[in-house]
């Protein structure tokens, strides 16, 4: 079969690389030629990428007016491939989900479905599909291949959270299942034509999510967790980054972060690129906060030299943080200063909270005192009733003018329980 190494996801990746000018002109031309040959071999010309591929290839092939129907081929894989290439994602999803499979291939079919859902960025569909396997913890009833499919699905779900810029959720979900199933990452490779996300892309998604989500003050604990040893064996880049951050080697960290191992890889991937600008902002902001905690005034120029970040970028980031996150900082020339006005506002707000709390506690005390007085009055009334029933009328009548305050005053001044004597 011609081009058997090119599956559902091949054309989308090639089109991205060409449209974003990744690689040299000659490299892009060769990729475009291969893609055009692929389209001609499978007789599928109905793709939104035709013009860009045709131009980059230099072949200048006229697009056929008669386009074969997607249903012309009886072969299931060929029909599905044409629907995806044509971006008829609704039809493709229906076609994929209604394929009849045997019970021992159920999770492998779900794996193909989730890859397709990620391809067309149907993340709601991804989460709904994940619900089907969330209770699968032990695998004794599954074949080895089905177990491997379950693990790959979970890794893909974690990756989908990264693509939605939900870095904490990506990190949380991944480590939840890694702690339950230590073999999560020990699945054999699948054929290249079936790969949606490469190992490198998945590693970067998890690494970036960890660096962003785990608090700076928790990095040290995370690095030395015994349970994290297998993780770092699979994610050495994450460990290198954490060590640089722990040593406050921020300039070296951002050189790594903005270099060819992270930034360039993200820009070359259609699955990493969308979340990358936001990931950069969050990571930079995390380091800014570190400096704001230890100093009331920081020079933008100093931060730029220390972190290896352009002054313009720092200024724009801080302005955005002030506006969107209500950051207690003002910019005065080249200096970032803690806002005295906002500090006073915070103090006033805290005092008002304290006042309300004090008032609440006073009311509680008053209520308790009132309850005690009511109990005491009830006891006294009961005792008085008993005494009146046992004393002569003449004695009882002499006490008619005595009230609760009189009794209380006598008790306060004469009782040994209050004067410390015994």
Residue 351: predicted pLDDT? 56
Closest CA to 220 of 200, 243, 251: 243
Residue 391: predicted pLDDT? 44
Tell me, yes or no, whether 58 lies in a domain.
Answer: no
What DSSP state is assigned to residue 261?
A: T
Residue 322: predicted pLDDT? 86
Tell me, yes or no, whether 395 lies in a domain.
Answer: no
**Run means of pLDDT, 10 residues per run, the chain, 422 residues:** 65 94 94 93 90 93 68 72 89 84 87 93 93 75 89 96 97 94 89 91 98 93 90 96 96 96 96 97 94 89 95 93 83 84 49 67 76 71 56 43 37 36 40
Phi, psi of 287 (to 5 degrees): -75, -35
Write out the two tokens for 80. Answer: 């599905």
Residue 127: predicted pLDDT? 92
Tell me, yes or no, whether 378 lies in a domain.
Answer: no
Return the bridge partners of 330, or none. 337
What DSSP state is assigned to residue 249?
A: -
Residue 414: predicted pLDDT? 38
Residue 69: predicted pLDDT? 56
Tell me, yes or no, whether 307 lies in a domain.
Answer: no
The number of helices, as runs of H, and strands, as runs of E, in the chain is 22, 3
Tell me, yes or no, whether 30 lies in a domain.
Answer: no
Residue 99's SS3 state is: coil
Residue 223: predicted pLDDT? 93
Query: What value, to the nearest 5°, has the Cα angle with vertex 247 and ends 245 and 250?
Result: 50
Tell me, yes or no, whether 120 lies in a domain.
Answer: no
Closest CA to 127 of 148, 85, 156, 98: 156
What range defines the domain where residue 197 resides? 163-294
Q: From residue 101, give the alpha-carbon distance in Å to each of 105, 108, 152, 153, 234.
A: 6, 10, 19, 17, 33
Phi, psi of 330 (to 5 degrees): -125, 155
What is the DSSP secondary-structure string of 336-354?
EEE-HHHHHHHHHHHHHHH
Return the bridge partners of 335, or none. 299, 332
Tell me, yes or no, whether 194 lies in a domain.
Answer: yes
Write out the two tokens for 319. Answer: 């302005």
Return the bridge partners of 298, or none. 336
Total domains in the chain come to: 1
Closest CA to 117 of 271, 5, 275, 276: 271
Return the bridge partners of 332, or none. 335
Tell me, yes or no, whether 223 lies in a domain.
Answer: yes
- CA distance from start to end of the chain: 106
């Amino acid at each position: 079969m011609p081009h058997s190494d090119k599956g559902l996801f091949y054309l989308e990746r090639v089109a991205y690389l060409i449209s974003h000018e990744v690689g040299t002109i000659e490299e892009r031309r060769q990729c475009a030629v291969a893609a055009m040959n692929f389209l001609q071999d499978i007789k599928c010309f109905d793709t939104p990428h035709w013009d860009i591929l045709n131009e980059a290839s230099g072949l200048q092939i006229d697009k056929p007016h008669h386009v074969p129907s997607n249903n012309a081929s009886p072969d299931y894989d060929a029909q599905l491939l044409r629907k995806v290439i044509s971006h008829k994602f609704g039809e493709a999803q229906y076609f994929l989900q209604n394929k009849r499979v045997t019970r021992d291939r159920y999770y492998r079919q779900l794996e193909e479905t989730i890859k397709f859902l990620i391809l067309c960025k149907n993340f709601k569909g991804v989460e709904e599909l994940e619900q089907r396997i969330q209770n699968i913890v032990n695998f004794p009833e599954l074949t080895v291949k089905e177990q491997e499919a379950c693990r790959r699905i979970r890794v893909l779900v974690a990756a989908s959270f990264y693509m939605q810029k939900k870095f904490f959720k990506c990190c949380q979900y991944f480590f939840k299942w890694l702690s339950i199933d230590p073999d999560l990452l020990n699945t054999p490779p699948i054929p290249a034509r079936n790969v949606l996300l490469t190992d490198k892309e998945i590693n970067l998604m998890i690494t970036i999510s960890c660096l962003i989500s785990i608090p700076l003050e928790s990095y040290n604990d995370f690095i030395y967790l015994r349970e994290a040893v297998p993780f770092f064996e699979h994610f050495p880049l994450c460990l290198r980054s954490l060590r640089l951050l722990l040593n406050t080697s921020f300039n070296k960290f951002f050189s790594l972060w903005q270099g060819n191992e992270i930034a360039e890889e993200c820009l070359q991937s259609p699955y990493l690129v969308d979340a990358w600008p936001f990931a950069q902002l969050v990571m930079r902001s995390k380091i800014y906060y570190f400096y704001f905690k230890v100093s009331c005034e920081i020079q933008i120029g100093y931060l730029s030299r220390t972190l290896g970040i352009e002054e313009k970028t720092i200024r724009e980031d801080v302005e955005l943080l002030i506006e969107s996150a209500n950051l207690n900082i003002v910019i005065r020339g080249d200096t970032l200063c803690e806002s005295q006005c906002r500090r006073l506002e915070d103090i006033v707000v805290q005092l008002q909270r304290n006042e309300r709390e004090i008032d609440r506690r006073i009311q509680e005390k008053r209520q308790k005192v009132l309850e005690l007085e009511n109990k005491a009055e009830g006891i006294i009334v009961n005792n008085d009733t008993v005494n009146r029933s046992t004393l002569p009328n003449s004695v009882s009548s002499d006490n008619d003018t005595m009230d609760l305050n009189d009794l209380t005053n006598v008790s306060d001044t004469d009782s040994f329980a209050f004067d410390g004597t015994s």
